Chains A and B, each alone.
Chain A
Amino acid sequence: MRARMKPYRAIFRQQLLTGLQYRAGYWGSTITHVVWVIVRVAIVGIFYRYGRGQAGVTLRQAVCMIWLQEMALNLMPGFGMDFTVWNKIARGDVGYDLVRPLDVYNHWYVSALSDKLARFLLAIVPVTAAALLARGDMGLHLAASPLSILAGLLTLATGLAVSCAVICLCYAAQMDVNVGDAPSRVMMIVSQILAGSLLPLQLWPDALQGFLRWQPFAAMMDLPLRFMAGSASLSELPPVLLSQLVWGVLIWRLGRAWIGRNLRRLIAQGG
């Protein structure tokens, strides 16, 4: 078992370290994201202050979710993603990955994991600093207890496992020539939105909350962040983990089966 895991561990380690090295445009992109959050926070704040309706979460909790999202979005499919595997599939270089004595699915899963994790780690320091510097209601106020923050971090980590399975599902769709690249791109956009990237899911219509709570993408970002913002209690922890487990296994198996089917039908051309 240990020996079998070794190549994947090596790929993970090497790609994580590469990901943490200097990236072109790191600061430009960080500043962009921070200004982006400030705009989103300002807009949500205006609706809270001047609108007449009610929300189940306080402005502080909503603002907290939006700040945390700016880091957690790096864990989502398609957000600032490394398109290496994607491009390999599109251009046919995928042949190189197929001749390696490795399981292709595990290889791509581990690459996605290291890429997402590196981006997330790089975002933590500058975004947290900006969030703490922002004044008044616009700033980051972690209303939760240390235990809730831990629960948030734990479920964010387990949510990453689901997110990487979704990324591999997108690769599978991209490989399927009959489908073209439109479905996988659409899948990435939809999964981000349903993970709460446009607006924290608790601000969506009350009638939809039941659906939003249990669909697979909420468990990747929105549900974990609720713990940290204090808009969900610790008693929510078991259902979140259950949702992640069920969806994670389901999407993993689906992606594996789809990639397997694609490989059987794949014709490698040229040399």
Chain B
Amino acid sequence: MGETFRQSAFGLYTRYIRILALAQLQYRGWILGLLPSLVYVITDPLDAILLFDRFGALGDWTASRIFLVYGLALMSFGLAELFARGIDYFPNLVRQGEFDRLLLRPRPLLMQAAAMRFHLNRLNRVIAGGLLALVCLRAQGAVPSAANIAMLVLAVLGGMLAYAGTLLIAAAVSFFTVGDSELINLFTNGSYQVAKAPPQLLPNWLRRAFTFLMPMFLFTYYPAAAVCGWDGSRLMGWLALPVCALSFGAATLLWRFGVRHYKSVGS
């Protein structure tokens, strides 16, 4: 008992996740439970596939280019949903008054919030996105050098942070509003819909929104362009992780601001 009490925040986080994962594996039908989300994930890129089938490549932009960008975004989002599912669920926690329970525990709040939920079916996006990206990298003839692999891994990690930060902003907003903030979907599920077309051909405001506001193209398009040698500078490919880490940091500050202004209604 004494040993568990001294556990680090990260150790406690992995313990929470492990328990939640094992609990889901107790159901005999857990594999079947992954099915709906799998169907959803697999059918999502269908519109772009059908459009490529009908209209063919868009200049330099072949299907494998588009789906490399899309796959990287999908995988990043999947990782964020897998490991920060609790943050996604956080607004409900505040609404139902359960956040007080977290405040009472002498453990880091953000860690507790992130570890409140864990859903195995979120693996679907990670695996599908990863496989899609790999297939497309092969089709694009990318060189699997150490630098290239490192760039892509760091980009996906950056993407995970950017999506986790987006979920965290929604969580922070929930301290001040009661309603569902469905708007945030535009920057989570909606963001990789935008990746179904070449960024250069998108309307300017849309491309800028997903480069600067929610830096989706920064952790997908630029690393992919650097690795496959499309165009642009290699430096842009390395920017993903530092920029996304900064945006996650900013989201954390906003969330802390929300925590400080949280008014419990007691029970």
Contact = CB atoms under 8 A, between A and B. Distances in A.
Contact of A182 (B35, B43, B56, B203): B35
Contacts of A79: none
B35 A47 contact: no
A11 to B, nearest CB: 26
Interface string A40-65: 10111011101111110000000000
Interface string B31-58: 0110110011001101110111111111
B185 A198 contact: no
B55 A39 contact: no
A1 to B, nearest CB: 40
B182 interface: yes
B190 A203 contact: no
B180 A47 contact: no
A104 B179 CA distance: 32
A43 B46 CA distance: 13
Interface in A231-255: none
Interface stretch (B78-86, B130-138, B194-202): B194-202
Interface in B175-192: 178-183, 185-186, 190
B193 interface: yes
Contacts of B178: 24
Contact of B198 (A44, A46, A53, A186): A46
B56 A52 contact: yes
B54 A46 contact: no
A25 interface: yes
A53 B194 contact: no
Contacts of A48: 55
Contacts of A203: 50-51, 54
Interface in A79-113: none
Interface residues of B, number: 40
B36 A39 contact: no
Contact of A40 (B59, B182, B185, B193): B193
B57 to A, nearest CB: 8
Dominant secondary structure of chain A at its interface with chain B: helix
Contact of A28 (B59, B180, B197, B202): B180
B182 A28 contact: yes
Contact of B186 (A32, A46, A198): A32
Contacts of A28: 179-183
Contacts of A7: none
Contacts, number: 111
A146 interface: no
A46 B43 contact: no
Given A46-B58, A46-B198, A25 B43 contact: no
Contact of A35 (B32, B43, B56, B186): B186
Contacts of A190: 39, 43
B32 A198 contact: no
B202 A46 contact: yes
A25 B181 contact: yes
A243 B202 CA distance: 39
A130 interface: no
Contact of A193 (B33, B46, B183): B46
B55 A53 contact: yes
Nearest to B95: A24
B206 interface: yes
Nearest to A190: B39
B46 A42 contact: no
Contacts of B48: 43
A204 B59 contact: no
A180 B30 CA distance: 11
A42 B50 contact: no
A53 B186 contact: no
A74 to B, nearest CB: 14
A54 B36 CA distance: 34
7 contacts: A25-B181, A28-B182, A32-B190, A39-B194, A50-B58, A51-B56, A182-B29
Given A28-B181, A181-B36, A193-B43, 12 more contacts: A29-B180, A31-B183, A32-B183, A46-B58, A51-B51, A52-B55, A53-B55, A55-B54, A186-B35, A186-B36, A190-B39, A198-B44
